Structure 1
Amino acid sequence: MNSKKEVSKHGVTGKPKLHPRNPHHGRYDLAELCASQPDLKTFITLNPKGEQTIDFANQQAVKALNSALLKHFYHVEHWDLPKDFLCPPIPGRADYIHYLADLLADSNNGETPHGKHIKGLDIGTGANLIYPIIATHAYQWKMTGTEVNKIAFNSAKLITEANPRLRNSVSIRQQKSEKMILNGVINSTERFHFTMCNPPFHASAEEAQAGTQRKNRNLNKGKNANKARHQVTLNFGGQQDELWCEGGETAFIKTMITESTELKDQCLWFTSLVSKKEHLTDIYRALKKAKAVKFRTIEMAQGQKVSRFIAWTFQPQDEHSNWFINP
């Protein structure tokens, strides 16, 4: 991929291998997106070939593109982010939702479940609220987002309250303890069909900064090195609890697995993204120790990038279909 990720008038170049139901296949139609969100026009430039593009190293440009995508594809009229919070790539985020739907279908006699009787929990929903937005639009699921960061919590609530479509489908809860993940946000009488999570994947602030610098260099090849270093904090959003935690994602997911054993009868599938394949061995070991009945690793491909999420359950297979009886 070029240092300035190119978008033709139809969208991202290349051939991403997204989930078949993901609406972001092929290239973005920038004319349609600008019609939905006129502010995007400000960030469109021409590449050396005379094709329309935006600079993905410009955080404001990415934010404007996300706003346009959410408005055009998901009917979200009002969406914004606090300064320096994570601005996620929507096509990849949508893949997690669609592969989750396939996982649920496998437990539901092959039928992809739709409707508000399907309840999902997004752990660390972030200031952007991306997963609940996509899940409620694509499958009409009822979503609950949790957030420990007060600013992110307020932002997620604001997005929910500002969009009528989300008010009846999404609720936001604040996790009061930085040491807990699932505990403290699931009530004793609640049942969820799934949990999902995009955990902080770095083990320290220094590791997160180094990762940001590498990403920045890739986006700024051929540009002035000092300018590139200066842009590290300008181009990439993300707060501490979005990017790193002590022990990194392995420790975070292992804590989630431990907590899930206490809630095993209140959720059908627990899931989490895993950024590095080499972390799976320790995670599998933790799942065996926790006596999960079944666990699966589901891979997702976006162009040259392969991502994955781990899913585990404590429910016997012959009881899965009972979770989908609409009361």
Structure 2
Amino acid sequence: MPAPDNIYENDVDFTTLALQYPQFAKKLKPNGQLDFSDPESVRQLTKSLLHRDFDLAIDLPEDRLCPPVPNRFNYILFIQRLLDDTSPDWHEGYDPNRSVIGLDIGTGSSAIYPLLACRQRPAWRFLATDIDEKNRTYALQNIAANSLEARIKLLDTDPTGQTLIPVEEIVRMGIERIDTVMTNPPFYPSSESLLESAHKKSRPPNSSCTGAPIEMITPGGEVAFVSQLIDESYSLSLSKARQETSGRRLQIQWFSSMLGKLSSVSDIVEALKSRDCTNFAVTEFVQGSQAPKKAKTRRWCVAWSWMGFRPGVNVARGVSGSSGVEKRLLPAPTEYDFEVEVAAADTDTDVGAVERKLNQEMAKLDSIKWRYLSERRVGMFLSPQGDVWSRKARRKKQQQQTQQAQSQTQVHQTTTTNKDKTRARGNPEDPEADQDEEMTNRGQVSNDQAEDEGKDHEDEEDEEPALVVRISVIPPIIPSTTSTASTSKNTKVHIHIRHLHGQEPVLFESFCGWLKRKMTTT
């Protein structure tokens, strides 16, 4: 199903929930409130919400983390939208036929992320890891209790935590591509920092914490944990590192992590930029009532990819003005809009003129692929080589053509000179000698060319296009004849450009600027 709206955007109605679940009702106060400092009350809330809203039945140990369902569901919604926006075939929106494989690092006793993801989307499967034996035991039980053993697999992983992604085991399973890696790492670098954080709170925490130290604490805290994941993801992105002894290689499209501290967002984004990663997303998860004065639980999430498939603005820059995330930490925009003025008298005719001009401008470009669907008023533009539209690109092409022509002339002159020398040394009465030599040379060149072309073809299979965009032509909304605005002589056609693929945001900006100039200049 398409990514649904957040059903927990507002507070959960405890009274209604209590009518359906007697065990939860026992924990509800007479005034309809819940004691979040009581671990059993929190566990009953989690169990009841999972069963009512997702038909999931789970068991939770008393000495491990109890996941808040609204927060965890927010993360799944984000992953759904991220993948819907970055389909490898540039499909627009949710594709029910797309088979997705996810990896949850540190799945916990509940295995809540794989359970929610697979319950939401039938074509999704998940792998999961955890280094705590008790968590693994409960996770396996919860997966089996919901009859999802065929779609959720718990993997063995490095118990020391030195390696987060179990690449070798995944490859042994015959899996060559994972669509998303997600994790909710421990927040704290030490037990002292955990206690210090608790003491600094101006009010008691609104939820009990039953997590074991292994779930709450990791050396260096969440920043060190996610930085390690960035390093592993970068290594996997390198072609040599991806190649396995079996001849297969593991590709992962998206990596992501929830973050509990606002300061961590800056650290993680800077770590990505230091690796020259330009394709990332920053979002926030806000729980609680929409009333501005009410306390809210806020978490953040950073996702990144070493591939070129880019999400739309709403997904990539999914933070509000009150999120606390600085604008400099957000990725480059992946959408661009401008308007073309047309006469209002005959809108269909003038929109057609805009479409013709768009197609004409595309026809002037070399080495690109362009397809426009007039019935949908949408075009797909693909440039394997990058910039072929700017003056600089045109001048460079002219220089290359001139150099190529000069090189061909020199080769021809050299060949002619060599033949003349051969005739002078050989038998002038034996013309077949020249023919044999020429055929031999041709054969050698042909073999070399075939070998080079084969190598080029292999490289092209791995090469990503430099730029892919979707261009939508949106007709103006014509006011009714009774409106005073209908007397206007002009109206505007809207052009929307969506960056679908490419590693260079500057290239997208350049293309948008070029197209706007061409379309708005008469």
TM-score, length of structure 1 as denominator length: 0.78
Alignment partners' CA distance in 1, 2:191 and 2:283: 29
Task: Report the secondary structure of 2:43's partner residue.
Answer: helix
Change (3 A) 1:245 1:216: farther
Q: Work out the CA distance in 1 between the residues paired with 2:15 and 2:159.
A: 45
- Count of residue pairs brought into register by the alignment: 285
The aligned counterpart of 1:210 is: 196
Which structure has the larger Rg?
Answer: 2
Give 2:28's aligned residue.
44
**1:143 and 2:126 correspond:** yes
SS across alignment from 2:264? helix
* Structure 1 residue 80: Cα displacement: 1.3
CA shift for structure 1 position 299 = 2.2
Structure 1 residues 202-261: Cα deviation after superposition (integer angstroms, max 9, x where no partner)? 1101112333456695248xxxxxxxxxxx9xx421112211111111111111111112
Counterpart for residue 48 of structure 2: 68
Cα offset, 1:293, TM superposition:
4.8
* Residue matched to 1:82: 61
Query: Contact between 2:265 and 2:300, CA under 8 Å: does it hold in 1?
Result: no
Q: Which has the higher contact order (CA 8 A, sep 6+)?
A: 1
Tell me, yes or no, if the aligned pair for 1:153 and 1:174 is still in contact at 8 Å: no
Give the 3 Å change call, closer, same or farther, for CA 195–185 of structure 1 in structure 2: farther
Give the match for residue 224 of structure 1: none
Q: 1:45 to 1:120 in 2, by over 3 A?
A: same
The residue aligned with 1:271 is 256
* C-alpha deviation, 1:112, in angstroms: 2.4
* Contact 2:188–2:221 under 8 Å retained in 1: yes
Which residue is equivalent to 1:223?
Answer: none
Please list the CA deviations of residues 239-290 of structure 1 after superposition, one character each: whole Å capped at 9, or x if unmatched. Answer: 1221111111111111111111232351110111122222233322322333
Correspondence list, 1:1-327, <5 A: 21-30=5-14, 32-34=16-18, 36-47=20-31, 52-77=32-57, 79-108=58-87, 109-114=91-96, 117-140=99-122, 141-164=124-147, 166-178=148-160, 179-184=162-167, 187-188=170-171, 189-190=174-175, 191-212=177-198, 217-219=203-205, 235-264=208-237, 266-303=251-288, 304-317=296-309
Distance, in Å, in 2 between the alignment partners of 1:123 and 1:115 is 25
1:199 deviation in Å? 0.7
CA distance in 2, matches of 1:213, 1:169: 43
Q: Which runs of 5+ in 1 are unaligned?
A: 1-18, 221-231, 323-327
Q: Which range moved further: 27-36 or 52-61?
A: 27-36
What's 2:413 paired with?
A: none
- Higher mean C-alpha displacement, 180-189 vs 308-317: 180-189
Check whether the contact 1:202–1:248 (CA below 8 A) recurs between aligned residues. Answer: yes
Shift of 1:29: 4.1
- Cα distance in structure 1, aligned partners of 2:127 and 2:257: 16
Percent of pairs identical after alignment? Answer: 29
Give the whole-Å Cα distance in 1 for the aligned partners of 2:24 and 2:276: 50
Partners of 1:126 and 1:20 in 2: CA distance:
25
Q: Which amino acid aligns with 1:90?
A: V
The answer for unaligned runs of 5 or more in structure 2 is 238-249, 289-295, 310-463, 469-499, 502-522
Asked if the contact 1:85–1:239 (Cα under 8 Å) also holds between the matched residues in 2, the reply is: yes
- Over aligned residues, Cα RMSD in angstroms? 2.7
Q: 1:315 to 1:95 in 2, by over 3 A?
A: same
Letter in 1 for 2:24: L
Q: CA deviation at 1:113?
A: 4.1
Task: Supply the distance in 1 between the matched residues of 2:258 and 2:72 (Cα, whole angstroms).
Answer: 10
Q: Which moved more, 1:271-280 or 1:33-42?
A: 33-42
Give the SS at the match of 1:53. coil
**Residues 125-148 of structure 1: per-residue CA shift (max 9 Å, x gap):** 001211112111222321111111
- State whether residues 161 and 167 of structure 1, in contact with CA within 8 Å, keep that contact through their aligned partners in structure 2: yes
Supply the AA of the counterpart residue of 2:84.
Answer: A
Whether contact under 8 Å (1:147, 1:175) holds in the other structure is yes
1:273 corresponds to which letter in structure 2? M
Change over 3 Å in CA distance of 1:114–1:124 after alignment to 2: farther
- Please state how far the C-alpha of 1:20 moved relative to its aligned partner: 5.9
